[in-house]
A and B are shown apart, each in its own frame.
Chain A
Amino acid sequence: MTGTMVPERVREVVAGPATNQPRRLLRSRRRAGLLMVAPALLHALIWIGIPLVAAVVLSFTSYDVLTPPRFAGLDNFRELVHDDVFRRAVLNTSVYTFFTVPVAMTIALLIALMLNSKLTGRAIFRTAIFIPQVTATIAVALVWLWIYDPRSGLANAILSFLGLDGPNWLSSTSWAMPAVIMVGIWQGIGLKMLIYLAALQSLPGELYEAASVDGASKVRQFFSLTVPLLKPATFFVFVTSVIGAFQSFDQVYILTDGGPANSTTMMTYEIYKSAFREFRMGYACAQSLVLFALLLMLTLVNRRITGGDRGSR
């Protein structure tokens, strides 16, 4: 924390105040701050911290819930290395994330730009686009099951209208993953759009006025002003979307059950299967740690590449 980035007032306080009054003030503010974040910290400790430590510990055990855990050393991790299905799940999750996140983010940004303009009935559009986000995935997935029905579904009806033979979406190893990805994109647009819209509405109008005066076109304004100014929002949307995509579960659970032949199984789905269907809690914890490590790594890499939320300061 050096250089011009640090506000004068803070530097003054950190370097040492001239009198005792600011120090007392700072201390009392610190206390108040700690008191205010205490409930959230306690909540995080109980519901995130302890389960996280427990998961780490249990990952070194063989634990079936029915009998006490037995220390298993690195057995679960050794098995994970040779587990073809879990490897497939990691690959599937990565593919799902690779396609859903950028596509949904791009569409969400375009819709947000559209809704940020003076569009008639934009409140209706906004609501309509946000609805998938608040609709139960079970209900959404059931509708998509009908859409993907090879005989009476909407998807193949449209393709047939265009003179194309529709695939057996959910029974085909080639088409099941694209089908799941499409649901993921559709469902993820609403929240991303809302965040982008909020960010767009807080952008300073005078910058755009100045750019217009300087003769910058709308496209130039978008790439030179909007995109850089949206960097903090983009970072937030990207990180939460990647985490969300890596934790996708419901669509697969309802639409494909991970099949056919594991072609749509995801990491969370494999964790669920190990824990609740096969009663292998220790192994499920080891799988969870791999997911945790991957997400941590992706977040750190993304932070390094994009510079995190520095643009907001």
Chain B
Amino acid sequence: MEYTRRSVLSALGLGAFAAATGCSAAPSGDGQAAADGPAEGEITLLTPIYEGSTGKQLLEGKLLPAFKQKNPNVTVKVDYTTYAALNEKLTTGLAGGLMPDVVMLGVGWIPPFAHKKVLAALPDDLGQRFDYEDRVLEPCRYDGKLYALPLILDTRIVTYRKDMFAEAGIKQPPKDWTELRAMARELTRADGSGKLTRVGFDPFSIDLRQCWETFLFANDGTLFDESGQQVKFNDDRGVEALQLFLDVIKDKSGDYSFKSAAGQPSTLAQGRSAMMMANNSLWVQLQEQTPELLKEDKVGAFMLANRVPAMFQGGTLVSRSATTKHAAAAQALVEFLGTPDTILPTAAQRGAVPGVQDLQTSDYVENNGFVKLALGNMDKARSEGGTPAWMEIREKIKTTLETAVVGQRTAKEAIDELANQSKEAISRL
């Protein structure tokens, strides 16, 4: 055989290609390990929650020992991460063939991973074990199958200062965006030099993507069609949602730089905003940082409404890997983590909303005003995602919308650009 430079280079290239991709443990075909048989073996759990020493103590000191009692032949090794690093952890794990047996994912993450056959479908009757709100199970499904169970939810609601409302003579929270904007203007304060000391409305202390989506949902808009193949947010409803941010900045009842910094009390707690978009976990933060505001009943919350009342629903779902060697053990853990007994302490530890309605009358829910509001209105909750291309699209939303917020583009231009990027991402599926 004659070796030419081209053949040698081709061989080298192919060898490197094989080296780079051959170690990938990407699942292929529909082959998924069945979960029947005895639950036994050592399994891994990848979790972006249970962070910090209290979270670890709850998981490894209380919950997993209870699981072990029920499943004595299963050992669970926990791999902690954060939501910021979860994607990276999964990517490298998949590439290295180290996909955890049980994985906790965010809302919107199921379609991309189920589409790629990384997750195993769960028995559908698991979705009927407890009192689940339909909206809560929606992001757990893909292609008609159940792939995950809800653990805890994180909703986005509007929180407000009752004392500031009373001072301004405002008796009721706004019913639509026109009222919201009028109230925001009325509640805004500036010092003698015109420098803002309080914004009437702070939508920017939460992630811009989730904030815009909440406004989109309250405007009766949606991200994608049911198939997840068509972009639907680029109509008037999506543009109006973004335009509202630009309008509050323009009339100075809101300011993009006027937002809560990480680890610091919120603008609401500091009295620097009268209304603020917030995660329901703000209640726990207020309890720790400014408990007097709750004791004196100075803080309230309501659902954002315009064409319809709506609430953004994020959260943590638990799912099983399609490639696990201990399918029965992994499924047992998924089922265990999805029970109210596990969900309640997990939600309480983070100030989150329990994923099941069964806990509506629990002391925790009764004593947490924001969680109570959210759990009582889960029928109005809407989730992000809904397309297998979500992991790529979600990364584009904030940066693209931000260009409008800082004045580089109009709302329409930014939404159109985002729609184009989303269509391209979907076309690559």
Contact = CB atoms under 8 A, between A and B. Distances in A.
Interface stretch (B55-63, B122-130, B395-403): B395-403
A192 interface: no
Contacts of A50: 16, 19-20
Contact of A259 (B21, B26, B91, B399): B399
Contact of A260 (B19, B20, B87, B406): B406
Interface stretch (B237-245, B254-262, B278-286): B254-262
Interface in B247-284: 256-257, 259, 261-262, 264
Contact of A277 (B12, B395, B425): B395
A57 B17 contact: yes
A173 B262 contact: no
B116 interface: yes
A68 B28 contact: yes
Given A54-B19, A58-B17, A145-B261, A67 B398 contact: no
A66 interface: yes
B220 to A, nearest CB: 28
Given A62-B428, A66-B116, A261-B403, A279 B391 contact: yes
Interface string A39-53: 000000000001101
B261 A57 contact: no
B88 interface: yes
A277 B138 CA distance: 23
Given A66-B116, A260-B256, 5 more contacts: A55-B20, A67-B28, A171-B257, A278-B391, A278-B395
A262 B12 contact: no
Contacts of B405: 260-261
Interface in A27-79: 50-51, 53-58, 62-69
A147 B14 CA distance: 50
A258 B87 contact: no
B118 A66 contact: yes
Interface centre among A150, A260, A275, by most B CB within 10 Å? Answer: A260
A69 B392 contact: no
Nearest to B87: A277
Chain A: interface residue count, which band? 35 or more
Contacts of A259: 398-399, 402
Given A57-B20, A171-B257, A260-B256, A65 B88 contact: no
A113 to B, nearest CB: 39
Given A261-B403, A279-B392, A172 B21 contact: no
Contacts of A152: 264
A262 B399 contact: yes
A277 B12 CA distance: 30
Contacts of A277: 87-88, 391, 395
A276 interface: yes
A166 to B, nearest CB: 11
Contacts of A145: 261-262
Contacts of B95: 65
B54 interface: no
Interface string B94-133: 1100000000000000001100111000000000000000
Nearest to B421: A85
B257 A168 contact: yes
A172 B408 CA distance: 12
29 contacts: A50-B19, A51-B20, A53-B13, A54-B19, A54-B20, A57-B13, A57-B17, A58-B17, A62-B428, A64-B116, A65-B26, A65-B95, A68-B21, A85-B399, A145-B262, A149-B264, A150-B257, A173-B406, A173-B408, A259-B402, A261-B405, A262-B403, A276-B87, A276-B91, A276-B92, A277-B391, A278-B391, A278-B425, A279-B87
Nearest to B398: A259
B87 to A, nearest CB: 5
A85 B391 CA distance: 18
B196 to A, nearest CB: 11
Interface of B: 12-14, 16-17, 19-21, 24, 26-28, 87-88, 91-92, 94-95, 112-113, 116-118, 256-257, 259, 261-262, 264, 391-392, 395, 398-399, 402-403, 405-406, 408, 425, 428
Contact of A278 (B92, B118, B392): B392
A54 B24 CA distance: 13
Interface in A114-169: 145, 149-150, 152, 168
Contacts of B19: 50, 54
Contacts of B402: 259-262
A53 B403 contact: no
Contacts of B399: 85, 258-259, 261-262, 265
Interface in A265-290: 265, 273, 275-280
A279 B392 CA distance: 7
A276 B81 CA distance: 14
Contacts of B88: 276-277
The 4 closest A-B CB pairs, nearest first, are A54-B20, A168-B257, A66-B116, A53-B16
A51 B16 CA distance: 8
B91 A279 contact: yes
A51 B95 CA distance: 14
Contacts of B392: 278-280
Contacts of A64: 116
A260 B94 CA distance: 31
Contacts of A171: 256-257, 259
Interface centre among A51, A66, A67, A277, by most B CB within 10 Å? Answer: A66
B26 A67 contact: yes
A275 B91 contact: yes
Nearest to B22: A68
B48 to A, nearest CB: 14
A79 B116 CA distance: 23
Contacts of B20: 50-51, 54-55, 57-58
